[in-house]
Structures are given as C-alpha cells and as structure tokens.
C-alpha cells in the first residue's frame, strides 16, 4: 500500500524538522510512528477485551482486596505500610 497522506502544515513542519535532525526521511519516520501507534492501539484493544472477559467470568477484585494484596507485598519486601484512604 503506497497511499498519500495529507498532513496539517504544522505537523508536516515538525516532521521535516525531526527528519532533518535524525537524518532519516520523513516517510520513514512517519511509517515508524504510525506502526508504533497502531501496535499500541491493537495492544490496548486486546487488553480491554481480556479485561472484559475477566469481568464476565467473575474474575474481579474489590478495591479493598487490591489494597490488602499491595500491603502484603510491601510487608514481604520490608516496606512501610501506607495509610489507608477512607
């Protein structure tokens, strides 16, 4: 796929400046940036789906349970317990 992408002037200017400083082409920098952002968005969607599945399966913890687990971890590591918030 070799499509053209129109960028707002300010973004195109930033891209040209960065590409000049990095010694890479604007197209290569844009491709890398788009790829990395798409990877993040795909990861986020998978994480949300896993969380939804956990909720549907009843695999949830209350805030109190999470706080208690954190307190146990801190105690095992020798950390000071934090004050509980009401």
pLDDT digits (tens, 9 = 90+) for 41-62: 999 999 999 999 999 999 999 9
Q: How confident is the model at residue 30 (pLDDT cuts 50, 70, 90)?
A: very high
What pTM did the predictor assign? 0.69
Could you give the count of Cα atoms lying within 13 Å of 63 in the half-sphere of its Cβ? 3
Residue whose tokens read 């993040």: 40
Task: Please answer whether residues 16 and 26 qualify as being in contact, where contact means their C-beta atoms are separated by less than 8 angstroms.
Answer: yes
Run of H or E residues at 8: none
Residue whose structure tokens are 């844009």: 30
- 86 pLDDT more than 80: no
């Amino acid at each position: 796929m070799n499509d053209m992408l129109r960028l707002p002037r300010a973004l195109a200017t930033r891209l040209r400046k960065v590409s000049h400083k990095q010694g890479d082409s604007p197209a290569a920098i844009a491709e890398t940036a788009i790829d990395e952002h798409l990877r993040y968005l795909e990861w986020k969607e998978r994480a949300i789906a896993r969380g939804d599945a956990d909720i549907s399966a009843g695999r949830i913890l209350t805030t109190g349970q999470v706080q208690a687990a954190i307190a146990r971890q801190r105690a095992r590591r020798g950390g000071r317990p934090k004050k509980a918030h009401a």
